């Protein structure tokens, strides 16, 4: 019997998690039991019929609960309450509470695009509408226009996508694919014929019965009400295509984008799946090897495997019931396996994080869930099992990687599609350290934004479980523009996990780090965030008045200086959502820098200018080193080369700035560079700015101890990029 978490039960009962916990403790939910200090409840359990709420809030959601449902931070939630964007039903001890009905309606309105009040924030969970996920299959797929026609009919006729409709459309498609593949029937009567018992001798159609929730094939009766109700949608004639996940495409297109984000599920485009399979097999012989996709969805990764894989060695698993049933159909048809026991034992429905470490595989591949929202009780359980779950926030792909490390044989290969954040975000240091302890990377490819409607750069990571400390030798890297293989050993740590450099570039980075007399800003600078107003429309105006003053955004900054803007604000710190101490905004001398940018852009300010949170503050405090000299170093191509090759981030973080080597030079050299910086600050001609910048760049390269050839290599690497000089 499937078990549910407290969180899942709370949603089903439409009561708070706190109330479910209390009912379990009181023994009032049939079958509830404690497993590893976590309550689990049978999915058939009923809410007590005599349920009485002891307090008004027992059947409501707290602000924290609501924020989980909307995938926003509690701080954002508080601000939305303050601004009237969220309206609580009650407030007890200054804590707002919301009814389930309110939250359900809010989510539906967000999904359907009926409200826009919350759309100032890019909430990816609520991309509205249902649409075809074209990149999921090949561009030439014959079924792509067919599924598009189904979606078009649904949208044009404003048909609600219910579970009944979803299952009917999937079953109709599955039946046609099965009959096309196994009996060469090109125009079978789909679901209607199946329900009439026309195809009951086909040995694969038990999989459709399973999909529909039936234990036996139906008797010869009149077509169901479902086929009558959706007759027009069941007239499409699908064709079986080798290695194309047509069932997955249809299922994915019917699912709302919101539900994919809530479960951390982003279905991988077929071209990316093929790329992973090709890179995996380029160096690794598949014959006789076992392979597992632990989060297989509808089975697209398994479909792309070459025929050299023995189906007896191919395994898939997922927690989504419908996905598993569709994956079984895909697996059975790809390898032409009608045996129920083999299909069900190879494609399973269970929580991969509960797999035994004794289950070993030669290859573990796939796209693990990203950003899965674990409940409090689930987090407590994960922290007892996984090192990578020790932090306050648990990232689902981290624990999947750690579980995969446990399930790999010696010499086994892990090949996952992951967010690029895995390589450079501090929160993922624990899982990177686990990789370094007993694994090395065979292949790494930077994919960019690979998923429809999701702005998240991705990577293809392929590692080998060696049982020994990490070695970079032999690692092949493809960064989008070039492919190279690392030939020399490197000092790779969990905090510095970048591979975008050739051996020549890496040598240059090490020279910059080890150049002569140097220091860093770590512990020798003050940092402050720009102002977060909470409502820019309310606080910022384009009109200059006697009581307001100019405030800068990141886009107002160039290297060395900023443009005066027509954005003005009345400085009332107590009115803003988040603000640094006033002394930082009013410093006699400070640097302002773009926070959201793939370049280092630092501007000088001695006018005590205010800035918003896209324009942050740095006040260097290195003894004997001028603020303007630090600015010139950070604005140089050398610092940009170091930033790009070491961090490759679209955000300039404090931790990045603190690691950039600052060469220490004599007073005379500093004063020379300061004079040049002042020329840029006062220049009005773009050519003068560029020429002076190049002169400063050459001077700083010499201070770093770089040769002319090394400086030229850096200039070539930076060629074509916006320098943000004017």
Q: Give 123's pLDDT tier (boundaries 50, 70, 90).
A: very low
User: Does residue 556 have a pLDDT over 70?
Assistant: yes
Lowest mean pLDDT among 205-209, 648-652, 694-698: 648-652
User: Which pairs count as long-range contacts for 119-122, CB under 8 Å and 24+ apart, including other chains?
Assistant: 121/72, 121/76
d(CA 464, CA 483): 20
pLDDT of residue 58: 60
User: Does residue 547 have a pLDDT over 90?
Assistant: yes
With b meaning 16 or more CB within 10 Å and e meaning fewer, what string describes 284-314?
bebeebbbbbbbbbbbbbbbbbeeebebebb
Q: What is the pTM of this model?
A: 0.76
Largest CA distance in the chain: 97
The secondary structure of 505-531 as a DSSP string is HHHHHHHHHT-SSEE-STTSEEEEPPB
Task: Quick: pLDDT tens for 366-402.
Answer: 999 998 888 889 999 999 999 999 988 899 999 999 9
User: Does residue 30 have a pLDDT over 90?
Assistant: no
User: Does residue 60 have a pLDDT over 70?
Assistant: yes
Q: Give 267's pLDDT tier (boundaries 50, 70, 90).
A: confident
Q: Are 402 and 382 in contact (CB under 8 A)?
A: no
Q: Are 252 and 133 in contact (CB under 8 A)?
A: yes
d(CA 552, CA 533): 13
128 CB burial (10 A radius; 0-12, 13-18, 19+):
middle
Q: Kindly give, in sequence order, each residue whose CB lies less than 8 Å from that of residue 512, ignoring residues fewer than 6 positions away.
A: 638, 641, 642, 661, 704, 706
- How far from each other are the two terminal CA atoms of the chain, in whole angstroms? 66
The secondary structure of 29-91 as a DSSP string is STT-EEETTEEEEETT----TT---SSGGGGEEEHHHHHHHHT--HHHHHHHHHTTSS--SEE
With b meaning 16 or more CB within 10 Å and e meaning fewer, what string describes 538-576?
ebbeeeeeeebebbbbbebbbbbbbeeeebbbebeeeee
- What count of Cα atoms within 13 Å lies in the side-chain half-sphere of residue 645? 22
Instruction: Say which residue, 543 or 449, is predicted with more confidence.
Output: 543
Q: Give 667's pLDDT tier (boundaries 50, 70, 90).
A: very high
Q: Kindly give, in sequence order, each residue whose CB lies less than 8 Å from that of residue 106, ignoring residues fewer than 6 positions away.
A: 70, 86, 115
User: Does residue 122 have a pLDDT over 60?
Assistant: no
Task: Quick: pLDDT tens for 603-636.
Answer: 999 999 999 999 999 999 999 999 999 999 999 9
- Locate 102 and state its tokens: 């309110």
Task: Report CA-CA distances (Å) from 223 to 23, 175, 198, 218.
Answer: 44, 15, 12, 10
Average pLDDT, rounded, for the chain: 89
Task: Quick: pLDDT tens for 211-264.
Answer: 998 544 444 434 467 678 788 889 999 999 999 999 999 998 888 533 444 444
Q: Kindly give, in sequence order, each residue whose CB lies less than 8 Å from that of residue 159, ignoring residues fewer than 6 positions away.
A: 153, 165, 230, 233
- Alpha helices, H only, 142-263: 144-156, 163-183, 190-195, 206-212, 225-229, 246-254, 257-262
The secondary structure of 132-144 as a DSSP string is --GGGS-TT-TTH
d(CA 676, CA 438): 51
Task: Quick: pLDDT tens for 193-214.
Answer: 998 889 989 999 999 999 998 5
- Locate 258 and state its tokens: 């919101």
SS3 state at 700:
helix
d(CA 371, CA 56): 32
Query: Do the bridges between strand 291-293 and strand 314-318 make them parallel or antiparallel, or are there none, so unpaired?
Result: parallel
pLDDT of residue 289: 96
Q: Which residue has the tokens 């160096």?
A: 283
- Torsion, Cα of 27, 32, 35, 40 (10° steps): -130
Q: Are 481 and 498 in contact (CB under 8 A)?
A: no
Task: Report CA-CA distances (Å) from 721 to 121, 660, 724.
Answer: 29, 20, 9
Q: Give 515's pLDDT tier (boundaries 50, 70, 90).
A: confident
pLDDT of residue 1: 57
Q: Which residue has the tokens 């804590």?
A: 95
pLDDT of residue 215: 44
- Torsion, Cα of 449, 450, 452, 456 (10° steps): -40
The whole-angstrom distance between residue 682's C-alpha and the CA centroid of its chain comes to: 44
């Amino acid at each position: 019997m499937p078990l549910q978490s407290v969180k899942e039960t709370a949603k089903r009962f439409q009561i708070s998690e706190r109330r479910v916990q209390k009912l379990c403790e009181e023994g009032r939910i049939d079958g509830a039991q404690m497993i590893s200090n976590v309550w689990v409840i049978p999915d058939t359990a009923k809410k007590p019929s005599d349920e009485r709420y002891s307090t008004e809030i027992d059947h409501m959601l707290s602000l924290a609960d609501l924020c989980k449902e909307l995938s926003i931070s509690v701080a954002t939630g508080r601000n939305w309450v303050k601004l009237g964007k969220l309206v609580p039903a009650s407030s007890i001890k200054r804590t707002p509470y919301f009814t389930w009905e309110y939250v359900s309606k809010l989510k539906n309105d967000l999904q359907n695009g009926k409200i826009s009040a919350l759309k100032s924030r890019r909430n990816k969970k609520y991309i509205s509408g249902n649409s075809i996920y074209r990149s999921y299959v090949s561009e030439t797929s014959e079924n792509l226009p067919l599924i598009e026609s189904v979606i078009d009919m649904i949208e044009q006729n404003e048909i609600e996508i219910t579970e009944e409709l979803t299952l009917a459309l999937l079953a109709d498609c599955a039946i046609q694919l099965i009959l096309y593949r196994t009996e060469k029937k090109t125009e079978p009567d789909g679901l209607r014929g199946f329900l009439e018992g026309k195809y009951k001798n086909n040995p694969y159609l038990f999989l459709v019965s399973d999909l529909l929730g039936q234990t036996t094939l139906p008797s010869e009766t009149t077509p169901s009400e479902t086929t009558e109700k959706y007759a027009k949608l069941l007239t499409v004639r699908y064709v079986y295509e080798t290695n194309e996940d047509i069932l997955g495409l249809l299922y994915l297109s019917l699912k709302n984008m919101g539900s994919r984000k809530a479960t951390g599920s982003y279905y991988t485009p077929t071209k990316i799946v093929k790329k992973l399979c090709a890179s995996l097999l380029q160096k690794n012989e598949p014959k006789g090897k076992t392979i597992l996709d632990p989060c297989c969805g509808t089975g697209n990764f398994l479909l792309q495997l070459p025929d050299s894989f023995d189906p007896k060695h191919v395994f898939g698993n997922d927690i989504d019931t419908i996905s598993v049933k569709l994956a079984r159909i895909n697996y059975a048809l790809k390898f032409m396996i009608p045996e129920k026991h083999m299909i069900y034992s190879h494609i399973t429905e269970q929580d991969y994080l509960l797999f035994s470490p004794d289950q070993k595989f030669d290859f573990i591949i796939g796209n693990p869930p990203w950003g899965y929202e674990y409940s409090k009780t689930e987090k407590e359980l994960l922290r007892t099992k996984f090192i990578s779950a020790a932090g306050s926030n648990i990232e689902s792909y981290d624990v999947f990687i750690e579980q995969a490390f446990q399930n790999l044989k010696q010499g086994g290969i892990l090949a996952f599609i992951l967010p690029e954040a895995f390589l450079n975000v501090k929160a993922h240091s624990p899982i990177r350290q686990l990789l370094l302890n007993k694994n090395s990377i065979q292949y790494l490819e930077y994919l960019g934004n690979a998923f429809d409607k999701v702005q998240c750069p991705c990577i293809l990571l392929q590692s080998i479980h060696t049982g020994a400390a990490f070695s970079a030798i032999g690692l092949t890297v493809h960064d989008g523009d070039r492919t190279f293989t690392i030939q020399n050993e490197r000092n790779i740590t969990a905090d510095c996990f970048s591979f975008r450099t050739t051996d020549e570039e890496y040598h240059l980075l090490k020279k910059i780090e080890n150049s002569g007399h140097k220091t860093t800003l770590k512990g020798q600078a003050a940092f402050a965030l720009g102002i977060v107003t909470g409502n820019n429309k309310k606080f910022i105006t384009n009109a200059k008045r006697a009581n307001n003053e100019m405030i800068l955004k990141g886009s107002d900054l160039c290297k060395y200086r900023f443009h005066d803007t027509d954005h003005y604000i009345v400085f009332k710190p107590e009115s803003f959502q988040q603000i640094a101490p006033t002394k930082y905004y009013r410093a006699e001398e400070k640097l302002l820098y773009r926070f959201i940018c793939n370049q280092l852009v630092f501007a000088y300010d001695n006018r005590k200018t205010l800035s918003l949170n896209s324009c942050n503050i740095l006040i260097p405090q290195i003894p004997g080193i001028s603020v303007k000299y630090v600015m010139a170093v950070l604005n140089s191509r050398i610092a940009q080369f170091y930033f790009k090759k070491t961090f490759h981030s679209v955000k300039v973080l404090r931790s990045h700035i603190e690691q950039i080597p600052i060469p220490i030079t004599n007073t005379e050299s500093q004063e020379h560079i300061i004079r040049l910086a002042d020329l840029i600050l006062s220049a009005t001609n773009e050519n003068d700015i560029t020429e002076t910048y190049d002169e400063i760049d050459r001077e700083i390269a010499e201070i770093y101890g770089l040769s002319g050839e090394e400086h030229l290599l850096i200039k070539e690497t930076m060629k074509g990029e916006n320098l943000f000089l004017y």
